[in-house]
Amino acid sequence: MADFLQTEQGRQIAYHKTEGQSPCVVFLGGLKSDMEGTKAVHLEAWCKAQGRAFLRFDYSGHGESSGTFEEGCIGDWHEDSIAAVNSLIEGSYVLVGSSMGGWQSLLLARAQPDRLLGLVTIAAAPDFTEDSYWAGFDDAQKATLETVGHVELPSDYMEPYIITKRMIEDGRENLVLRAPLTFDCPVRFLQGTEDTAVSTETAVRLLDHAEGADMRLLLVKGADHRFSDETCLGLIEDAVTDVIAAAKG
């Protein structure tokens, strides 16, 4: 049974928190995903076995949290993430961000650099509202976005995504690849070469753009966007272990 956190914006955020040693590992899920996904649940069990604190939660409009997906945008989900770590965690944390959660983890890292002990992203999708959605819209879709307020995009995994004008415009206020992105902690980017949602080029662009003394990109040949088979889950565990060990020196 999930617990619920009420944010300053009045949203009800569903979460599962495992108590344990610091730093807390925080999982940030993808667009239209939820905290019951394979990676989130696996990491929770793995952290629990080590006695380490762990947090997973649903953004508003996702999973068990309040609101609808169509109402939300990157900035709203960033507010949810800030509320979760500020209300539910004391001290430092390690972020594990998957897909859109990778973008969210970069925003959170930029907002609270002093609390970030380490960062792991899995198929991170920074700035996708601009570089994937908007860049891929034809004139007719752009006109529909202006007149109707949203467009529908097919998904490989579920029903079509409803992409709103607000999501596109808000995304522009939260871009991370257009301004300096500097990390004072260990960072590990994980990316599958058979990912059809986030390209290897995106992963390399993020690596090239970001600055940090301890930053690595691991490309996994044959892995897809889910990055959740036994081998990939083991690589996520290794990356979390690595950043914690490196941060503690």
99 belongs to the catalytic site = yes
pLDDT of residue 154: 82
- Please give the pLDDT value at position 157: 67
Whether the predicted pLDDT of 244 surpasses 90: yes
- Among the listed residues 99, 105, 170, 228, the single catalytic one is 99
List the one residue out of 154, 131, 101 whose CA is nearest residue 202: 131
Of 22-31, 158-167, 212-221, least confident by mean pLDDT is: 158-167
Q: Is the pLDDT of residue 246 over 70?
A: yes
pLDDT value of residue 194: 97
pLDDT beyond 90 at 159: no
155 band by pLDDT with thresholds 50, 70 and 90: confident
The residue among 235, 246, 248 whose CA lies nearest residue 121 is 235
Q: Do 11 and 24 contact (CB within 8 A), yes or no?
A: no
Partnered with residue 5 across adjacent β-strands are 13
What is the C-alpha to C-alpha distance for residues 182 and 178, in angstroms, rounded to an integer?
12
Whether 62 is catalytic: no
Catalytic residue among 62, 80, 225, 228: 225
Are 188 and 124 spatial neighbours (Cβ–Cβ below 8 Å)?
Answer: no
> Model pTM?
0.96
Q: Give the separation between CA 154 and CA 143, rounded to whole angstroms.
A: 18
Contact 205, 177 (CB under 8 A): yes
126 contacts: CB under 8 Å, gap ≥ 6 = 102, 103, 106, 175, 176, 177, 202, 206
The pLDDT mean for the chain works out to 96
Report whether 207 contacts 217 (CB < 8 A). yes
pLDDT over 80 at 5, yes or no: yes
User: pLDDT digit string (tens) for 161-207?
Assistant: 899 999 999 999 999 999 999 999 999 999 999 999 999 999 999 99
What is the C-alpha separation between 205 and 147, in angstroms, rounded? Answer: 33
- At 177, the amino acid letter reads L
pLDDT tops 90 at residue 67:
yes
Could you say which of 76, 127, 170, 195 is catalytic? 195
